[in-house]
Amino acid sequence: AQKITQTQPGMFVQEKEAVTLDCTYDTSDPSYGLFWYKQPSSGEMIFLIYQGSYDQQNATEGRYSLNFQKARKSANLVISASQLGDSAMYFCAMRKGSQGAQKLVFGQGTRLTINP
């Protein structure tokens, strides 16, 4: 069975510092996709970044990068130069890579608080 583990329930970081949010996953499928979503207090789910299991390079999107270590089954999110607006819940999710469906398995989330 697929599983996503986020071991940090909460993190507190000073503004402008970089922050790493941990995510480990468990799957027996060779093909899968990994996602990070941001959920601010308003509640919507905002897509941040995606990494495919066969992608050779780590994904990057602006200030977001995904530190993908396949052998360790980890997909940590790195946010550089954090801003106050980064305060939110962050969810790591995995999609099974075989036939059909955007069926994601989510972790429990990490609540990130950026301090001024």
Partner 1 sequence: NAGVMQNPRHLVRRRGQEARLRCSPMKGHSHVYWYRQLPEEGLKFMVYLQKENIIDESGMPKERFSAEFPKEGPSILRIQQVVRGDSAAYFCASSETGANTGELFFGEGSRLTVL
Residues at the interface with partner 1 (CB under 8 A)? 4, 31, 33, 35, 37, 42-45, 47, 50, 91, 93, 95-98, 100-109
Taking the C-alpha atoms of residue 34 and residue 50, their distance in angstroms, rounded to an integer, is 6
Nearest residue (CB) to partner 1, 100 versus 116: 100
Strands 110-115 and 10-14 come out as: parallel
Residue 98 beta carbon to partner 1: minimum distance, rounded to whole angstroms: 8
Residue 17 beta carbon to partner 1: minimum distance, rounded to whole angstroms: 26
DSSP string covering 58-104: --EETTEEEEEETTTTEEEEEESS--GGG-EEEEEEEEE-SSS---E
Residue 2 beta carbon to partner 1: minimum distance, rounded to whole angstroms: 11
In a 3-state reduction of DSSP, which class is residue 12? strand
Nearest residue (CB) to partner 1, 14 versus 98: 98
